[in-house]
């Protein structure tokens, strides 16, 4: 038979094979359960179908000064409180079941704090079946018609599966039937109300592309890992009510393909969803009982439900499972309900339970560490050892992370405020897990038989039955049609009616004919065999052709995959570059704007600079103008002052000359007196007396130089008391000296400052002037003058005489005698020096309207003012 031509290639490729290096990140989903009570504080908000946002609860905010912010976490998908179990299944578990049926492994676990809905998600509740019952249902819906008979597949206790021959399988089946008096009809079975309605038939799901040329069998195992011990929940232990045996823990082993498995773990073959779920429920009950008996906390244990699917190709006839262990394919889906992820402090565990809790915590810690190391290895290209062996949970699933199957995780969260801090930790773990990539499981090559064997066989059988029925069926004693036709092609039998016992004609003739027929038959058989062999070889050839073509297609697929990956990479690169270019464009935009602003600034600054420069220019020219003007003024002033100085110098010179002349005169007079005294008492004569008697009116003359000898005012005093009117000028600065001798002038007009009006009314002027004499005493001079009318309509005063009043301390006076006081009476003495003074006859002219009076500047000698 063709069976000999089956491929000897092992179906299960050697470990560490991955021929493709495509990787997928661990699929992490998030499910938010509804709050227990509606008025509870909620700290989670679903903000999109991939993102949730955590808000710190009010109490916590107050505790930490409100420094808490909202944090967002993204997942492959987020399922809000309204998500139905079915929706979750469709997204999360359905692809894993499809993979299972297509010979790929899968691992699905629920992670979260106790009470967050892990068990609800995995197992569900009556009417709300979770991922587990739904997965089972989908498997049986898909492989239902193609299931092998019970015990055809048999676990080999080394994590493998072998195919029993039909007889052994039949014997096993009979044994089972006799042992368990199970009612044959499922309808008669009582369904446990605890898990009734877990699966509703209207929500049935089915995988596509089930290989119909294979035969399938489902095996389930259910284990619990508590305190880092593995317990088999399906183990049948004879119940001893007197001395209940404590459960025995199991160990982990590695099979020949380096996959981990629980050694000696019960694997129950199940043929329907109900049966499978019943087995699960049995384990669940056992778990509960054990927890109660041993006072354990169920939230502290991990439960692992393993669904194994064995499949093997049908033989070439499409009748039976191929009796070849190498052709058996086993894939498994592990559904793990992990222990609560909260820290020990939350459960008020004590003593040994605290230790246990620590251990359970330890296994989740190890899971976290493994994920961290995996992520680090992948991100940094390092090759750090992943500590899978540190706990049973991670050790059992290490192959998954090494690329033996898809890994998915449902992170369950309860939005209540109490869980906030633990939920934060869960979120961080989940985020990290998403970054781990797991090698994509490869497609396994299929057995080298022509496809559609089951159908072909079925069709053939149907056709045969049909034809048999057409002819009334073989049961009527008639030969079937094919046989008839064949028989017709044989030489007809001679009449075989034997005439008598000695009929030696008929019998030999019959024998001859039969022998002839026999020969023909032999020939036909030979012919048939020949043709059959030929056909077989042709078929084999075609089979191998097909196989090579398949291989070729496989190869091409691989290449296509690579190309796809390349394409994907390039797309990613393009995406990255696009993002970068957008970023750069944005930056350019910003820079452009900044440049514009700067240019604007520059322009305005330039304008300001220009205006300032203009102002400066203006100021400079202004300054120049000012300078020239000032220079002009300075030159003018200089000139003026030079002239003034010259004038004053001249005046001084004149004055000095005058004084010199006066001294000369005195000297002459002295000489004359001396000479007279010597001769007969001659009267002293003054040569220019006549000229003095008539003082010239010099109102307009700038020069005070006297033209003749000075006036002798002593003679005037005699007629001074006539009808003349005086201006008595006493400056307010004068000091009252309390003197006895005071000028007494009748009808005088008394003024403090001379004015034109007073001058015009009078013809005499008297100025009382005080000064300090050389001996330190104050002396008062009475300066007298005559008032003239000027041609310009003003008044001018010509000083004519000075009288001096002087007080003396009698003591000091005795000692200090002036050399000139030689005369016997004061008159001579007075006249002596007054005479000199009076020679400075000075004319002061006052202009009409001028407020400068002659007394304006009184010094030791009269001063002439320039008009």
Residue ranges that bind ligand ADP, judged by CB under 6 A: 33-34, 112, 114-120, 125, 299, 340, 412
C-beta of 311 vs 341, nearer to ligand ADP? 341
The residue count of the chain comes to 867
H or E segment to which residue 358 belongs: helix 351-380
Interacting positions 588-647 with Mg ion (CB under 5 A): none
Full DSSP string of 363-380: HHHHHHHHHHHHHHHHHH
Region from 22-30, 118-126, 246-254, 347-355 binding Mg ion, contact rule CB under 5 A:
118-126
Q: Where are the alpha helices (DSSP H) in 701-825?
A: 756-761, 810-815
Region from 43-51, 113-121, 743-751, 835-843 binding Mg ion, contact rule CB under 5 A:
113-121
C-beta of 16 vs 82, nearer to ligand ADP? 82
| Residues pairing with 803 in the sheet | 782
Q: Catalogue the long-range contacts made by 862-867 (C-beta closer than 8 Å, 24 or more residues apart).
A: 862/783, 862/799, 864/651, 864/702, 864/704, 866/647, 866/702, 867/700, 867/702
C-beta of 217 vs 299, nearer to ligand ADP? 299
Taking CB atoms, the residue at the shortest distance from ligand ADP is 117
Nearest Cα to 189, choosing from 272, 94, 91? Answer: 272
How far apart are CB 115 and ligand ADP at their closest, in Å?
A: 5
Question: Strands 405-413 and 27-32, how do they pair?
Answer: parallel
C-beta of 340 vs 785, nearer to ligand ADP? 340
C-beta of 89 vs 120, nearer to ligand ADP? 120
How far apart are CB 132 and ligand ADP at their closest, in Å?
A: 12
Among 85, 105, 116, 119, binds Mg ion (CB under 5 A): 119
Nearest Cα to 426, choosing from 124, 37, 54, 42? Answer: 54
Nearest Cα to 88, choosing from 133, 35, 26? Answer: 133
Q: Which does 133 bind (CB under 5 to 8 A by kind): Mg ion, ligand ADP, none?
A: none
How far apart are CB 274 and ligand ADP at their closest, in Å?
A: 22
What residues have CB less than 8 Å from 94, skipping those under 6 apart? 138, 205
H or E segment to which residue 399 belongs: helix 398-399
Distance CA 404, CA 373 (A): 18
- Count the Cβ atoms, other than its own, within 10 Å of residue 263: 15
C-beta of 119 vs 795, nearer to Mg ion? 119
C-beta of 91 vs 172, nearer to ligand ADP? 91
How far apart are CB 457 and Mg ion at their closest, in Å?
A: 48
Q: Which does 125 bind (CB under 5 to 8 A by kind): Mg ion, ligand ADP, none?
A: ligand ADP
> How many CA atoms does the CB half-sphere of 220 hold within 13 Å?
26
Region from 4-12, 110-118, 265-273, 710-718 binding Mg ion, contact rule CB under 5 A:
110-118
H or E segment to which residue 135 belongs: helix 131-143
Q: Which does 115 bind (CB under 5 to 8 A by kind): ligand ADP, Mg ion, none?
A: ligand ADP
How far apart are CB 123 and ligand ADP at their closest, in Å?
A: 8
- Supply 387's token pair: 């500590």
- Supply 620's token pair: 């400079």
Q: Which does 701 bind (CB under 5 to 8 A by kind): ligand ADP, Mg ion, none?
A: none
How far apart are CB 130 and ligand ADP at their closest, in Å?
A: 9
Q: Which does 227 bind (CB under 5 to 8 A by kind): ligand ADP, Mg ion, none?
A: none
What residues have CB less than 8 Å from 834, skipping those under 6 apart? 713, 714, 801, 802, 803, 804
Distance CA 519, CA 499 (A): 27
Q: Which does 117 bind (CB under 5 to 8 A by kind): ligand ADP, Mg ion, none?
A: ligand ADP
Q: Is 301 in the site for Mg ion (CB under 5 A)?
A: no
Query: Residue 723 in 3-state DSSP?
Result: coil
Residues that contact Mg ion, how many (by CB under 5 A)? 2
Q: Which does 116 bind (CB under 5 to 8 A by kind): ligand ADP, Mg ion, none?
A: ligand ADP
- Count the Cβ atoms, other than its own, within 10 Å of residue 778: 15
Q: Which does 112 bind (CB under 5 to 8 A by kind): Mg ion, ligand ADP, none?
A: ligand ADP
How far apart are CB 372 and ligand ADP at their closest, in Å?
A: 23
Q: Which does 412 bind (CB under 5 to 8 A by kind): Mg ion, ligand ADP, none?
A: ligand ADP
Q: Are 215 and 225 in contact (CB under 8 A)?
A: no
How far apart are CB 154 and ligand ADP at their closest, in Å?
A: 35
C-beta of 119 vs 399, nearer to ligand ADP? 119
Q: Are 26 and 406 in contact (CB under 8 A)?
A: no
C-beta of 122 vs 161, nearer to ligand ADP? 122
Q: Which does 441 bind (CB under 5 to 8 A by kind): Mg ion, ligand ADP, none?
A: none
Q: Are 491 and 516 in contact (CB under 8 A)?
A: yes
C-beta of 119 vs 834, nearer to Mg ion? 119
- Supply 513's token pair: 């004919």
Region from 2-10, 81-89, 115-123, 475-483 binding Mg ion, contact rule CB under 5 A:
115-123
How far apart are CB 34 and ligand ADP at their closest, in Å?
A: 5
C-beta of 226 vs 401, nearer to ligand ADP? 226
- Supply 716's token pair: 């005037």
Helix 273-293 vs helix 131-143: angle between axes, to the nearest 10 degrees?
Answer: 150
How far apart are CB 297 and ligand ADP at their closest, in Å?
A: 11
Distance CA 267, CA 161 (A): 11
C-beta of 120 vs 261, nearer to ligand ADP? 120
How far apart are CB 280 and Mg ion at their closest, in Å?
A: 15
Distance CA 47, CA 105 (A): 33
How far apart are CB 6 and ligand ADP at their closest, in Å?
A: 48
How far apart are CB 135 and ligand ADP at their closest, in Å?
A: 17
Distance CA 69, CA 55 (A): 7
C-beta of 416 vs 698, nearer to Mg ion? 416
The contact set with Mg ion (CB under 5 A) reads 118-119
């Amino acid at each position: 038979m063709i069976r000999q031509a089956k491929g000897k290639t092992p179906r299960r490729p050697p470990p560490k094979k991955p021929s493709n290096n495509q990787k997928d990140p661990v699929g992490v989903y998030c499910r938010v359960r509804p709050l227990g009570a509606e008025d509870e504080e909620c700290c989670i908000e679903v903000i999109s179908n991939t993102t949730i946002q955590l808000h710190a609860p009010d109490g916590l905010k107050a505790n930490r000064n409100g420094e808490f912010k909202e944090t967002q976490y993204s997942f492959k998908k987020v399922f809000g409180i309204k998500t139905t179990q079915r929706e979750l299944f469709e997204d999360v578990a359905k692809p894993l079941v499809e993979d299972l049926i297509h010979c790929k492994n899968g691992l699905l676990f629920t992670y979260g704090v106790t009470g967050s809905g892990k068990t609800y998600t995995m197992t569900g509740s009556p009417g709300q079946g979770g991922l587990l019952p739904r997965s089972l249902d989908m498997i049986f819906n898909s492989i239902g018609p193609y299931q092998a008979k019970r015990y055809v597949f048999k676990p080999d206790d080394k994590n493998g599966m072998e195919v029993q021959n039909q007889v052994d399988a039949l014997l096993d089946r009979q044994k089972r039937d006799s042992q368990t008096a199970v009612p044959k009809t499922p309808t008669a079975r009582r369904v446990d109300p605890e898990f009734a309605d877990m699966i509703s038939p209207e929500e049935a799901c089915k995988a596509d592309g089930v290989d119909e040329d294979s035969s399938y069998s489902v095996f389930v195992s259910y284990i619990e890992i508590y305190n880092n011990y593995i317990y088999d929940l399906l183990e049948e232990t004879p119940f001893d009510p007197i001395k209940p045996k404590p459960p025995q823990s199991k160990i982990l082993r590695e099979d020949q393909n380096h996959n981990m498995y629980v050694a000696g773990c019960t694997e129950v073959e199940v043929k329907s969803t109900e049966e499978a779920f019943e087995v699960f429920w049995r384990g669940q009950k056992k778990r509960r009982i054990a927890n109660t008996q041993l006072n354990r906390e169920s939230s502290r244990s991990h439960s692992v439900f393993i669904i194994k699917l064995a499949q093997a190709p049908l033989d070439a006839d499409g009748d039976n499972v191929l009796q070849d262990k190498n052709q058996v394919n086993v894939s498994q889906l592990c559904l793990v309900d992990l222990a609560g992820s909260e820290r020990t402090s939350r459960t008020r565990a004590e003593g040994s339970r605290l230790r246990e809790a620590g251990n359970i915590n330890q296994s989740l810690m190890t899971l976290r560490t493994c994920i961290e190391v995996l992520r680090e290895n992948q991100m940094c290209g390092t090759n750090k050892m992943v500590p899978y062996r540190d706990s049973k949970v991670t050790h059992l699933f290490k192959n998954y992370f090494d690329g033996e199957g898809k890994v998915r995780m449902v992170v369950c969260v309860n939005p209540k405020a109490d869980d906030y801090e633990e939920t934060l930790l869960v979120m961080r773990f989940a985020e990290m897990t998403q970054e781990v990539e797991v090698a994509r499981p490869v497609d396994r090559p299929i057995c080298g038989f022509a496809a559609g064997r089951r159908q072909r066989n079925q069709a053939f059988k149907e056709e045969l039955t049909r034809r048999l029925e057409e002819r009334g069926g073989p049961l009527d004693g008639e030969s079937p049609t094919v046989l008839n036709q064949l028989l017709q092609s044989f030489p007809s039998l001679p009449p075989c009616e034997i005439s008598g016992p000695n009929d030696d004609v008929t019998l030999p003739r019959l024998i001859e004919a039969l022998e002839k027929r026999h020969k023909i038959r032999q020939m036909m058989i030979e012919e048939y065999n020949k043709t059959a062999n030929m056909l077989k070889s042709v078929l084999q050839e075609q089979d191998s052709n097909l196989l090579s073509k398949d291989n070729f297609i496989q190869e091409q697929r691989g290449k296509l995959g690579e190309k796809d990956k390349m394409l994907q990479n390039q797309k990613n690169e393009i995406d990255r570059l696009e993002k970068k270019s957008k970023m750069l464009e944005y930056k350019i935009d910003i820079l452009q704007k900044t440049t514009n602003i700067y240019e604007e600034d520059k322009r305005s600054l330039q304008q300001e600079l220009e205006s300032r420069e203009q102002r400066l220019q203006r100021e400079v020219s202004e300054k120049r103008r000012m300078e020239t003007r000032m220079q002009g003024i300075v030159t003018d002033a200089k000139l003026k002052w030079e002239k003034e100085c010259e004038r004053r110098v001249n005046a001084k010179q004149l004055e000095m000359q005058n004084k010199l002349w006066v001294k000369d005169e005195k000297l002459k007079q002295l000489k004359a007196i001396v000479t007279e005294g010597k001769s007969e008492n001659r009267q002293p004569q003054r040569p220019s007396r006549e000229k003095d008697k008539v003082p010239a009116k010099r109102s307009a003359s700038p020069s005070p130089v006297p033209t003749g000898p000075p006036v002798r005012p002593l003679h005037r005093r005699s007629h001074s008391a006539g009808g003349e009117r005086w201006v008595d000028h006493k400056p307010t600065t004068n000091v009252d000296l309390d003197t006895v001798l005071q000028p007494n002038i009748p009808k005088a007009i008394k003024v403090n400052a001379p004015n034109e009006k007073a001058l015009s009314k009078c013809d005499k002027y008297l100025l009382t002037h005080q000064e300090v004499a050389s001996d330190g005493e104050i002396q008062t001079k009475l300066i007298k003058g005559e008032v003239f009318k000027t041609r310009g309509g003003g008044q001018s005063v010509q000083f004519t005489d000075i009288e001096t009043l002087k007080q003396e301390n009698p003591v000091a006076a005795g000692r200090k005698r002036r050399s000139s006081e030689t005369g016997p009476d004061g008159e001579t003495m007075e006249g002596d020096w007054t005479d000199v003074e009076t020679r400075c006859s000075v004319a002061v002219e006052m202009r009409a309207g001028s407020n400068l009076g002659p007394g304006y500047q009184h010094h030791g000698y009269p001063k002439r003012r320039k008009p």
